Homo-oligomer: A and B are copies of this chain.
């Protein structure tokens, strides 16, 4: 071992001990008679001291050390004269007796500091150097801790980690698959799994009872800012359970993780119907760290001669507490914000509930003092509050007001990343109608079971059927979701039919699962949590990329290894494939 101790462990207790340390040169300061070197490893930073008086040659050697050189030193632990209370090793330093350079380093293309001067692309290209920075290391270690504690918890309650295959079968339903040509079976392809969904259900048919896996999944989608072509999921399934059992199990897991990883006690883990979430927050993943619930204002706004409201399907408002003193400029800014194409509102109506008891709205022409008092009463606004109102098509208005609500929450500092408010959103619709293809899509996936008491609706009004499906939402972010699955062959076949599969297509793609259901499939259900997302949430960050050791960029490219890349002609011919791509 090239060390007796790490750079994070020496304390005053070790005073006088001879130690060997190895690590990277964080920085060197030449103060004439003395040279100080900060030596860094994963565990911390320890100060080394070289003295011209006691060993000039050694000190000269130390002076020549560059940033990020890898060195090995031996020496005596001594008490520091000027202690650094911020550093756990800051009470001691090493009086170095020998110095070996294990490896030299060119000057890194950016500084290896908490705040670096490197741009995004440069840091991705030299990711191995970016990963040396303490905040990035901390993220990756947090991810390890969350993963390990997840495993320990699930193991302790009887879940079995079963590896499902990565080379599976392409199924055109849902997102696009990555495919893998098979050399041994020319003309045929494997697909990389978008999730182990069917395999975990088969494991329930096999009687494994409780399954989990922390597993890579793959989706060949056009990437948005925070999507990765490969991502990781905590994937779970249980048999002989009802929805309640699953919610309790994973509520328990998440409480455990918050406790052991962040030392945070989750007090409340409420449940909310999908319909309520849409109605009160305009979102199926409401951020409940703050109130500002929607108020249906149709009753107090329509029929007063204001055409915009009168012709609207919905008039919805929120009360922004204490914002009555917003200036004209601030309100104009808000109006501009909701009118941006990303939000798409036509305008914003406000009403100030001034501290002095007066009220002032942007539509005073149509709404007099009394009418505005009705607004206050309807919304529950108090003196000092600001009412913001959007109107139009119901679905769009909900979405727009939901965005505005989040914006106001952020503006008012109500979205503290250190406060965690999880909830379950439940009773999702089974299907959603797709205007483009003019058919139903599964809202969750085709294996989700309708609520038993609504089975009859499937034939008469499928869009109305609710599913035994649930999402876990924390701070307005969908952390995961799941459902009770169909375990009956006939119902599964009916479901595929509803989704526009011909019986032949259903058989070709999912015949193995429907067959399995004929041999004693137990009732089962489960969920999957986005592991990258969960880790970034624990780390207080919005970006999953910061919590992935080697992420890809928005073109799905690994900038460090420069992949994907062309393959050899020989590989094409072995795979019996030809490229039809004409490079520009």
Contact = CB atoms under 8 A, between A and B. Distances in A.
Interface of A: 1-3, 6, 22, 24, 40-43, 68-70, 72, 102-106, 108, 126-129, 131-132, 137, 140-141, 143-144, 147-148, 151-152, 155, 160-170, 172, 176-192, 198-199, 202-203, 205-209, 216, 218, 220, 222-223, 229-230, 232, 240-242, 245, 487-488, 512, 516-523, 548-550, 552, 555-558, 560-568, 571, 573-581, 583
Given A137-B206, A143-B162, A187-B579, 10 more contacts: A1-B242, A43-B209, A106-B518, A132-B207, A165-B558, A167-B178, A167-B218, A168-B558, A184-B555, A577-B577
A197 to B, nearest CB: 12
A577 to B, nearest CB: 5
A11 B548 CA distance: 48
A290 B358 CA distance: 98
Contacts of A519: 68, 105-106, 108, 126, 128-129
B520 A68 contact: yes
B41 A185 contact: no
A225 to B, nearest CB: 15
Nearest to A21: B240
Copies of this chain held together in the complex: 2
A166 B41 contact: no
B581 A105 contact: no
A168 B561 contact: yes
A307 B469 CA distance: 82
A556 B185 contact: yes
A230 B165 contact: yes
A72 B575 CA distance: 51
Contact of A103 (B520, B563, B575, B576): B520
Interface centre among A129, A147, A189, A562 (most CB of B within 10 A): A189
B137 A182 contact: no
A562 to B, nearest CB: 7
B241 A2 contact: yes
A281 B151 CA distance: 42
10 contacts: A106-B519, A151-B151, A164-B549, A165-B550, A167-B218, A169-B562, A170-B565, A179-B571, A184-B555, A578-B579
Nearest to A125: B512
Contact of A206 (B129, B144, B216, B222): B129
